[in-house]
Amino acid sequence: MRQNSTLIATQRAPAYSNTALAALVEENRVHRDVYLDPALFELEMERIWGKAWIYVGHESQVKNPGDYLSTTIGREPVLMVRDNRGEVNVIYNRCGHKGAKVVAKPCGSATMFRCPYHGWTFHLDGKLNATPHKCGYDDTDFDPEDPQFSMQKVARVESYRGFVFASLSAQGEDLKTFMGATLETIDNMVDRSPQSEVEVVGTCLPYFHDCNWKMFFENLNDAQHPMVCHASVGVATRRVVKQLPQGAAVPKEVEIIYPFGSSYEFFDELGVSVMARGHSFMGGRQSIHSAYAEIPGYMDSMIAAHGRERTEQVLGSNRHNTAIYPSFTIKDAVQIIRVVRPVAVDKTLIQTWHFRLKGAPEEMLHRTITYSRLINSPASMVGPDDWDCYARMQESLHSDSAEWVDMRRYIGREQSEGGITRASGTSDLSMRNQYRAWSDYMTQGQQ
């Protein structure tokens, strides 16, 4: 027995000292092991995904008491659930009895949770309600009020304008401090609604990637790849435009896909901005989303609600991807978020969720869904281009011919002001910034 305990303890001990972890990230390159080593993935689950604020879901997905959403934080199964007092809780999806996963459905509504194994029931805030045939506990020290028998609450939960994040760690900064300047992207998306409110529509579009989660995250503000990786969509859409009858409107599908074939100069001009904790965004006034045609009635509904000046201010901001490290990325101008759910060192689930701008013409939502089908879906013209490259990296990084992955493009040509550092759009700045955060999390600030 003692031997077994020792064995378990040995297996869980970190295989990396802080010095060894720090050595994996240099100023201009990272060691391939950050993508390949299962031991590092385990440490990431503890030191990054177990500490940072991780996106859980949107309050509109749990509108009424009893509504729940089942998801994961890192690899921890959790439920986001609205209780009878109207509070949004995030609880571990684990029975306080034998540890079975209590809820199997991705979402639904319940008055109480009941474990399918032995029938223990739990209130909507996770507290134990009842155990069947309880006389069996009469002569034991079983105390139903003891919190150990509940479905446990996640350490910290905070919401910003309906977006619910949780941290598995009781210690740390609050959500707003964590998000910093990325808060403005969430504000911008919500303020694009005439009612200053958004809601999730339908379920997510899931897409499993055969790669490490960090490859997806690096790609978000990697503007060196579209003109190469997505070259075919540029060619195809240019051909469609050429064949249009004179004066014909450009189809909205072309409008959405075409910018993915933009030039190095276009993306350089957009610029990339990074901040503490690994967050980043591209663009500002301009992005690949800023040249969309106006949808009839939308501008009028915004001006009626917010006035012209405020409307122009809101719609004049067009960030590309805003990446909130490590779990969340948002396109404010398209009303889409993508959420990272790491599964294994070489497997990652990406969930795309779509939002309705309350009070806006329904055509706005149609554009959001169309965008997702054309760009994010596993059957789209753009997403699989990226996926193929991630899978190639995941495969060939195993080659012993080289150890390092390069990230030095435009290094030393950044400019910092007010906590934000900016560079040309095709810089590797956002990647270098992510690995600075990775290193801080992984070494717990003690390099």
Nearer to Fe ion, 221 or 421 (CB): 221
Ramachandran assignment for 418, one of left (phi > 0), alpha (psi -120 to 50 degrees), beta (any other):
left
Nearer to Fe ion, 303 or 393 (CB): 393
Helix (H, G, I), strand (E, B) or coil at 196: coil
Ramachandran assignment for 302, one of left (phi > 0), alpha (psi -120 to 50 degrees), beta (any other):
alpha
Map the footprint of Fe ion across residues 173-192, applying CB under 5 A.
none
Taken in order 394, 52, 324, 180, the sign of the CA dihedral is negative
Nearer to Fe ion, 228 or 241 (CB): 228
Contact 329, 322 (CB under 8 A): yes
d(CA 99, CA 56): 21
- Nearest distance from C-beta of residue 42 to Fe ion, angstroms: 29
Is 67 one of the binding residues for Fe ion (CB under 5 A)?
A: no
Interface region with Fe ion, contact rule CB under 5 A, candidates 88-96, 337-345, 381-389, 424-432? 381-389
Nearer to Fe ion, 346 or 386 (CB): 386
Nearer to Fe ion, 25 or 220 (CB): 220
Is 386 one of the binding residues for Fe ion (CB under 5 A)?
A: yes
In sequence order, the β-bridge partners of residue 225 are none
Interface region with Fe ion, contact rule CB under 5 A, candidates 250-258, 269-277, 336-344, 386-394? 386-394
Amino acid of residue 399: S
Contact 279, 178 (CB under 8 A): no
Cα dist from 202 to 61, 329, 352, 354, whole Å: 9, 19, 11, 8
Interface region with Fe ion, contact rule CB under 5 A, candidates 91-99, 104-112, 264-272, 380-388? 380-388
Cα dist from 172 to 13, 18, 164, 168, 441, whole Å: 23, 20, 17, 10, 12
- Nearest distance from C-beta of residue 382 to Fe ion, angstroms: 6
- Nearest distance from C-beta of residue 222 to Fe ion, angstroms: 7
Interface region with Fe ion, contact rule CB under 5 A, candidates 9-17, 166-174, 288-296, 379-387? 379-387
- Nearest distance from C-beta of residue 260 to Fe ion, angstroms: 7
Nearer to Fe ion, 44 or 386 (CB): 386
- Nearest distance from C-beta of residue 386 to Fe ion, angstroms: 4
Summarize as ranges the residues that interact with Fe ion (CB under 5 A): 386
